[in-house]
Amino acid sequence: MAESNEPEIPDLHLSRSLEKPSLLEQVQGAETEFLAGKRQHADNVESAVRFFLEFLRGFEFLSIEEPTVTVFGSARFPDGHRYYELAREMGRALARAGFAVMTGAGPGIMEAANRGAKEEGGLSIGANIHLPTEQHANPYVDRLIDFEHFFVRKVMLVKYSCAFVIMPGGFGTLDELFETLTLIQTGKMVDFPVVALSCEFWDPLIEFFRAKLAAEGTIHVEDIDRIFVTDSVDDAVRFISEHPRSCNRRGGRVPPVA
């Protein structure tokens, strides 16, 4: 067969699709821009579209069958630190009990929980956030999604979980704890179990709740009981599994206690 001398016409649709930046690349820096101050109406509408697209990505990615527990905690505790090892043990125990483990995908506590789940053969999920410093996805995540907007990421971490483990952490961890408690307290979310792991770390905060918030009437004393504080990984998993509003209706099981 004779070869054609006609020049090859490039596939413009394919080349344009390859050149087009990914959705994540399009929204990088968008949250900083959105929160910078007063903006034009058209700019705010454009931001709203970006929020919507990022939500859609999250909905599609996080459609997971396994009952999922989210573990919150600091990115700053290194491998070998007592809190890192506690989170790693927590991840193992949750996976052993039949739960998928989801974290913010970063280093420190997040890495440890993902690592423990992966070591035990469980599903390890990460919802990463782009930050100028500190945050990068850890290597122990089986399924990873990146977010630009903090609030979209927080919604995903809460929406797809039926229990929460709060490990020692900083402002971000406290923000996640208080948002979860507020959603439960106000009836915006089902009363899922919330576990604070490490009495040494959390007891002073619980005492502050009692001595100041409850004493001044800004919360009910019963609100404090929404948090189960413990040092025991086994007790934490048992509390999650046996809680009437927990994952037990979706596949979780109580693990044997050593």
| Strand-by-strand arrangement of the 124-129 sheet | 143-147, 124-129, 100-103, 68-72, 163-166, 194-197, 227-230
| Nearest alpha carbon to residue 164 among 222, 63, 239 | 239
In whole angstroms, what is the distance from residue 198 CA to residue 77 CA?
14
Of the candidate ranges 93-102, 145-154, 234-243, the one whose mean pLDDT is the lowest: 145-154
Task: Find where tokens 């996976």 sit.
Answer: 95
According to DSSP, the residues that pair with 125 across neighbouring strands are 102, 143
Q: Where are the domains of the chain?
A: 57-249
**Residue 68 has what pLDDT?**
95
Q: Is the pLDDT of residue 138 over 90?
A: yes
Q: Is the pLDDT of residue 25 over 70?
A: no
Maximal C-alpha separation, the chain: 92
At residue 250 the predicted structure's pLDDT band, cuts being 50, 70 and 90, is very low
Hey, which CATH number is domain 57-249, 3.40.50.1820, 3.40.50.300, 3.40.50.2000, 3.40.50.450? 3.40.50.450
Q: Is the pLDDT of residue 112 over 80?
A: yes
Answer yes or no: are the C-beta atoms of 168 and 83 closer than 8 Å.
Answer: yes
Give the sign of the dihedral formed by CA 227, CA 151, CA 158, CA 71: negative
- Looking at every residue in the chain, the average pLDDT score rounds to 84
- The stretch 5-22 carries a mean pLDDT of 42
**Residue 254 has what pLDDT?**
41
Give the sign of the dihedral formed by CA 199, CA 205, CA 210, CA 214: negative
**Residue 102 has what pLDDT?**
97
Answer yes or no: are the C-beta atoms of 97 and 253 closer than 8 Å.
Answer: yes
pLDDT digits (tens, 9 = 90+) for 155-196: 999 999 999 999 999 999 999 999 999 999 999 998 999 999
**Residue 22 has what pLDDT?**
53
> CA separation (Å) from 142 to 58, 65, 178, 199?
16, 15, 28, 30
